[in-house]
A and B are shown apart, each in its own frame.
Chain A
């Protein structure tokens, strides 16, 4: 399927476990982003990547790790999940070359840490 996909869509895990959220885009957009969305907050940027092997921290990076070995994939890992990481996670991509400055979002992953 063309577009940006996230997996799993729903995940329940226990405190202390490692969890990886997957993000895949089919457009070869150079930029990719991870956001989290919580009640009372707008979307907050966790990490972003300008290209394969180039990543940088966003607003709330603590407790998260990212990698980007291939342009199309941008996994987000919670190394030791905490209850405060219960949230909805959105992945997005953008192609600066298009000149539209439009970010395309995935459907989200709802993560519950018990």
Chain B
């Protein structure tokens, strides 16, 4: 299984962009890169995923390096509700759809 490295914690100010990095240098060519987040006292929720191209959705953008060894989750305008732990997870649907979780990045958003 591919390993990921994320900062333990990051801090941002409200309404500013946030760039959450993830290193996944051992990712295989068929692994998608998934991002989930977990708000305090809640279950994780899906944020975004991608394979090679950059991706956008209503929650965030995902920028994937050309060599796929790293990716960055971009929150364009952080809100207080974005304070959560963000997990970067390589995902291979062929591996019985198992997600292998690390410790993620705890994001604090200052008002």
A contacts, CB < 8 Å to B: 31, 35, 40-45, 48, 50, 56, 58, 90, 92, 94, 96, 100-108
Flag whether B98 is at the interface (Cβ < 8 A).
yes
Q: Are B43 and A48 neighbours in the complex by a CB distance under 8 Å?
A: no
Which of chain A's residues have a CB closer than 8 A to the CB of B49? Answer: 100-102
Which of chain A's residues have a CB closer than 8 A to the CB of B87? Answer: 42
Which residues from 27 to 47 on chain B have a C-beta closer than 8 Å to any C-beta of chain A?
32, 34, 36, 41-46
Interface residue tally on B, bucketed by range:
20 to 34
Q: Which residue of A lies closest to B103 (CB)?
A: A42
Q: Are B99 and A103 neighbours in the complex by a CB distance under 8 Å?
A: yes
Q: How far is the CA of A27 from the CA of B101 in the complex (A)?
A: 24
Task: Give me 23 A-to-B residue pairs in the complex whose CB atoms sit less than 8 angstroms apart, sorted by A's number.
Answer: A31-B97, A35-B101, A42-B100, A42-B104, A43-B44, A43-B99, A45-B99, A48-B96, A92-B43, A96-B93, A96-B97, A100-B49, A101-B32, A102-B46, A102-B49, A103-B46, A103-B97, A103-B99, A105-B45, A106-B43, A107-B42, A107-B43, A108-B42
